[in-house]
Structure 1
């Protein structure tokens, strides 16, 4: 009885009515209005799993799951079990239900990750053969169709012929006796065809009078000539009805044979519709799935930003006030929470909100709170909320409370003989104004004793009170906790916020002063309270001020954190945009370079073809080369700076690669580039080109005086005039290119830039190595239009490790 009382006090039926509006079928709506509370946590877990999968499908499928065609065929199934004959409409409803359920099963089977719903539809049978037979025999209007049987088709063919004959005879009579009839009209009275005849001229049309008009001026007569045809028509109609009944009986018998399967099918469809209704309602509430916790293992009840679902509905549909959520975070050792504070401060709403949240989780609904939603599974939710006054039973407010609390204690006492205070029943008890309605001293004592009893016998109890003595229980028993509803002294109104750890203080005198009560009376009342009470109120006021200060700081810190996160997001986005822009620019630059190189190579190829054809002059080749040089200078990156050459000093350790020895330098290089080295006991003279540093650097080649003199003699010959192509042949750093360490492709680019402005010989250092770089250089020089010829350098200039190319 107390369970049903609790549901009524929490207005559970209103929530179920709201839920029913989200159902797609009549059966689902009926099931929602009569929602059953599960008796086990396993059942609740199963319902939650159904809701989660339905929630997933509602969000992933366009329009959600379809229940089109599924109807309430329960009465029809019950009647066929009693050998009743179904009507055409009932048979058609069964056929559409079979089709709708088959489509529902097909949709669920095609979706991934819905094992619970898939298991529900796995064993249902939709009997497509019965559905097809019904559609063959019953048309869309619910009438038996001609194709149902040959006999019925013959009967209806005869009926049409008889009706045609009757109509033709009556038409003839109307034409012959036009003066005697009221109007040229053929109508029916019952199953008989008649014509309207003027009463004074009834003898002109002999026959059977079946009806008379209200005024008596018109008689509806069946002429004697069509009476036999009318009799035949009546007999055929009886045969038609008998055949239709036989067809519907046969279909009803087929359905009666599979009634149990169809009842199961209907049950599964209702379960799925109810799961979808829970999902849609949860989505509308912006609720989140709960997780059932075990407080005995140290888990905390967490319900942050918990909204009252009925108030949310009232705000959305009935222009109610905005809903102020509450935070309920209850540690595992807490068994009793006492909420104090002013009237109309939201204490009772808090009780109802928690009670509804516990029930919603049990029936598989999501809870309208912020994630995570963590709540125990309560086997009972028991409440004493509001007054239970009765003039007829002479019950006062106090008596009503005591009677209901007695029923709560009895419910807790049933079947808990084997439970200890450390392991109470998983019940939730909600008490509003505990101990009220009687002498304050006795009421307070009774409330303390009751709450201590509940701490031993219920897993969690929430009680609202005005008794100050209950606030001290927290400091006597660790299983108790205080909470209060906040009160704004400036506006003299509650804020409906729930504050934890701080008991509410009396605001009666403050409110009285603000409302204009005589100050002398208020001060006199203070003296009656005693100093201890005033001290307690001051302590509570200090705690509240400290809490407000901490909340302000927390709010500021939260705003600062949000600002930092926003700035971090903006910087990250800008960095990503810059990286993308840089990548785009790099790609565009590479594309431009590639296009320029392709164009330049095309021009070179044209010049080469003209040269091969013998029609191109040197001036044309020079112009093409100059154009290529300009493109290279514009688009290609600058050539790498040449590495500084190695200059051996006396005492340095050097490597002689051709001998495979490491030696010590005894003398600096002379004007011919020779120096003395010693390795072991041997001394010898070597060329600079034959040594390198220990880290692999080649020695810097010096220009000998002999080379300078030969160059000067060559430039002063009178029989060899100076031309742009006969530049100095002295080797310097300007006409020397060091390609060592580069790939062939990179070497070609460096050579192209170096050859463009050059005139005369160019010394190209490629080294020996594997020989691939030298081969690549020679291949490039071989096809270059400005290179007349090339040859290995003199031994003193590097020999085969250096190539001298002559630029025209």
Structure 2
């Protein structure tokens, strides 16, 4: 049972007296007053019904109701126990059925008056002679005769030895007590009528609740029986050539209908479907049925499973005889109880006490254990009749499981074999299994697939009756005649020892004709199929040949196995081969005189011996095939168990390969991007180098103008700074192959030696955050920082000097002298150019997006925005015009340097002098002795560039 065995929820039916409750409901329907005990039973029933409903509805797994219990939830959903009725009854009636004092004011007052009257009587009779007793509800005195003349004699007792009297003062008190008793009974009767009316108003719901509880009780009993025997859920198979009747719900489910209107038919069909869902809930896999499919009531391929494979008409694998299994369990229970009693007696004798839990036995269940683990294991697995039990418990034999495999087209199975070999037990097991399946019970087998049999017709045992002048043979004939008249397409016929009771030849002829008629096969060909399936046991060899005499597979042979070595049956069924009776071997086993057995063997003849040997060879081959099948099934089981693990491993390998492919593709894509960035940086460096060479050549030949010369000076200065920074940093660290800066990487700027982190990468331009400064440099001017990412404070190698403007620095570089010492060095050969100027914040280089003013050329004074910065050659958008000029020929539009006054501001005109600003006040203060203006050198330089 799913609830109890797997979900840990138990269904408790304790306290429900269904007979008393049903009788009380019938009385309440007719407004007959209910007694106290009936009302108390009604309260217990309503409480138990409410508890059952809550138990079923509250079962959940991880907060979700399990789907296996959906049929039970549907059953209890319509149940309305009416707890308000129970509450009304409990306020008036106690658990024993007595009426409470507070049930009504009248009852309280009547009982109070009665108690007062009884107290007065006790006081009045306290000092009287005689024994106080009651007679017909009145308090009297029992005295010895003669009675006092003034007393009222009400009766005698003790055979006349005592006289019951009422003294003169007690008569009136007894009258008052009688009135109080009558008042109490009247109050109770009123309460009973009131409570009965409340129950009568709820009788429809209470009747429905009682039916639901009864139904749940039957379901629980079936489930617990199935769990105790490890039974499996049966599956009904549609026989070949049969169609499902979808208009009715006949007894078989395959044919027939239900008389009445269409609505009645539909209601009955729905009720039957609900009952079937209750009998066989969707709990595949819980009872050892390996998740087999449900009932074949969809009309798709009788006897076929989901993949269309042909199956058997009856498949009962590992079938245990239900009666034998139940007897074994009961015997084991009794044996355990007897063993527990003996153990308790032994402990008592030796002074030992039970454990704190008061349990006995190895499994801790106590003395009243109904089942035993070892026994159930044997019963479930169908082990041959070995014994089970502890050393101190009587050994109990369990039933042996048999396999019943009836082919799809078979209509009659002839079972042969030795006596006491289990032929009749196997046949009975099939009949009981069909009845259990039809009753909604699980079948004690590993697999249970069989048709729906609406009737089971049996001819087993000796039915002779001397009073009716019926011998064994005549009684058998009477039964067989009744079976022929009652058999139908959905009947299961069980016939034991068919054809016995008369001469072997005539009995075999009668038995063969009977089986042919039941199978629908006669001398004139196929006739109406009279029985769905017939199982017959026999010892007649002629009946074994029916399988070979009638083509079409209507007959099948089966035999019970016999162990040649042990000379004992194994109680197993072998299918497809006829069996031998083994009468001679069994006679030897039971001690018949050996000479008699030898004479009987000689009388059989050589031909019979040859047939027996042939059948023996077939049985040996069959056993070998069974072993091969067993090994094959073991291999298949191993394959089924290993296949999911192989599939899971293959899935992991595929996932790993896919991840490796994705990683490789990502690496290739990243390498391509890095290579593209490196190529762009190399191309830019080549362009810068070419531009530098061109500017140097033009400067050397003098064929350049002022702006070009200034650009060359700036490039030379940047190169010098890069070299100086590299020298200061030491030999450059090896840059990893394919490295390109990414946002957040620590880098070193080669041109300045500053350390920082990359803030932005846009093509070949890199923005580096160095402390509070942001530098925009080329990708070729940075390398990874191998040291700890610490911010370094950059200081110049030589003392800081007052910085001139950008134009003045360029002129000094071209002249090869320091402008502050031009007079002293006028007659001295100028040293090589030295570009050691430090740029202040106003010496930033304009780049894309900056607003600038052109300071030279035909477009001097034009203001615009830099839209392209191509290695120092700027493209400036001034209105609709687009101008190109070097970076040295522009200045920020917001920076206009004044004359000697040092004033700076927007809109002020610059002094003549080729756009060269004068030093600022700060510079003059810092120098304390500004150098005289080198007018001659400047004029010569300006004359060289044709500037005035």
TM-score calculated relative to the size of structure 1: 0.61
Q: CA deviation at 1:728?
A: 12
- The within-5 A match list for 1:494-513 is 494-512=569-587
Partner residue of 1:621? none
Distance 1:521 1:352, change over 3 A: closer
Distance 1:566 1:195, change over 3 A: same
2:514 to 450, 461, 467: 450
Distance 1:291 1:790, change over 3 A: farther
Distance 1:740 1:209, change over 3 A: farther
Partner residue of 1:480? 555
**Contact kept in structure 2, 1:448 and 1:470, CA below 8 Å:** yes
Q: CA deviation at 1:161?
A: 1.9
Partner residue of 2:473? 398
Query: How far apart, in 2, do the equivalents of 1:534 and 1:187 lie?
Result: 95
Helix, strand or coil at the partner of 2:574: strand
Query: 1:528-570: CA deviations, max 9, x gaps?
Result: 4344433322222112212222333444556677788999999
Q: CA deviation at 1:140?
A: 2.6
Partner residue of 1:549? 624
Q: CA deviation at 1:501?
A: 0.8
Distance 1:229 1:544, change over 3 A: same
Q: CA deviation at 1:102?
A: 3.4
Aligned length: 577
Distance 1:74 1:518, change over 3 A: closer
Please state if 1:294 is matched with 2:238: yes
Distance 1:157 1:739, change over 3 A: farther
2:93 to 138, 157, 182: 138
Deviates more, 1:737-746 or 1:507-516: 737-746
Helix, strand or coil at the partner of 1:342: coil
Per chain length, whose mean CA-contact separation is higher, i.e. which structure has more relative contact order (CA < 8 Å, sep 6+)?
1
Query: How far apart, in 1, do the equivalents of 2:101 and 2:449 lie?
Result: 63
2:495 to 431, 446, 464: 431
Helix, strand or coil at the partner of 2:326: helix
Query: How far apart, in 2, do the equivalents of 1:142 and 1:560 lie?
Result: 68
- The within-5 A match list for 1:95-174 is 95-110=43-58, 112=65, 113=67, 114-171=69-126, 173=127
Query: How far apart, in 1, do the equivalents of 2:187 and 2:178 lie?
Result: 14
Partner residue of 2:532? 459
Query: How far apart, in 2, do the equivalents of 1:92 and 1:519 lie?
Result: 75
Q: CA deviation at 1:393?
A: 1.9
Please state if 1:736 is matched with 2:680: no
Structural RMSD (CA): 4.9
Query: 1:586-616: CA deviations, max 9, x gaps?
Result: xxxxxxxxxxxxxxxxxxxxxxxxxxxxxxx
Partner residue of 1:228? 172
**Contact kept in structure 1, 2:754 and 2:794, CA below 8 Å:** no
Query: How far apart, in 2, do the equivalents of 1:215 and 1:529 lie?
Result: 89
Query: How far apart, in 2, do the equivalents of 1:221 and 1:375 lie?
Result: 81
Deviates more, 1:227-236 or 1:558-567: 558-567
Q: CA deviation at 1:59?
A: 4.3
Q: CA deviation at 1:322?
A: 1.2
Distance 1:250 1:565, change over 3 A: closer
Partner residue of 1:340? 416
Distance 1:567 1:279, change over 3 A: closer
Partner residue of 2:139? 193
Query: How far apart, in 1, do the equivalents of 2:495 and 2:232 lie?
Result: 27
Partner residue of 2:430? 354
Query: 1:255-298: CA deviations, max 9, x gaps?
Result: 44554554343223212211111111111111111111112145
Bigger CA radius of gyration: 2
Please state if 1:468 is matched with 2:466: no
Q: Which has the higher helix share?
A: 1
Query: 1:164-210: CA deviations, max 9, x gaps?
Result: 22233334x36xxxxxx57xx8554443335676879x86x974466
Helix, strand or coil at the partner of 2:139: strand
Query: How far apart, in 2, do the equivalents of 1:484 and 1:130 lie?
Result: 64
Query: How far apart, in 1, do the equivalents of 2:626 and 2:544 lie?
Result: 23
Helix, strand or coil at the partner of 1:482: strand
Query: How far apart, in 1, do the equivalents of 2:736 and 2:119 lie?
Result: 116
Q: CA deviation at 1:232?
A: 0.7
**Contact kept in structure 2, 1:58 and 1:65, CA below 8 Å:** no
TM-score calculated relative to the size of structure 2: 0.52
Q: CA deviation at 1:427?
A: 1.3
Distance 1:159 1:440, change over 3 A: same
Q: CA deviation at 1:211?
A: 7.1
Query: How far apart, in 1, do the equivalents of 2:589 and 2:143 lie?
Result: 94
Query: How far apart, in 2, do the equivalents of 1:346 and 1:141 lie?
Result: 55
Q: CA deviation at 1:221?
A: 5.5
- The within-5 A match list for 1:571-610 is none
Q: CA deviation at 1:770?
A: 6.4
- 5+ residue gaps in structure 1? 1-53, 175-180, 414-424, 576-654, 664-673, 675-710, 712-725, 753-759, 792-799, 801-808
**Contact kept in structure 2, 1:70 and 1:100, CA below 8 Å:** no
Distance 1:135 1:729, change over 3 A: closer
Distance 1:317 1:217, change over 3 A: same
Partner residue of 1:237? 181
Distance 1:554 1:393, change over 3 A: same
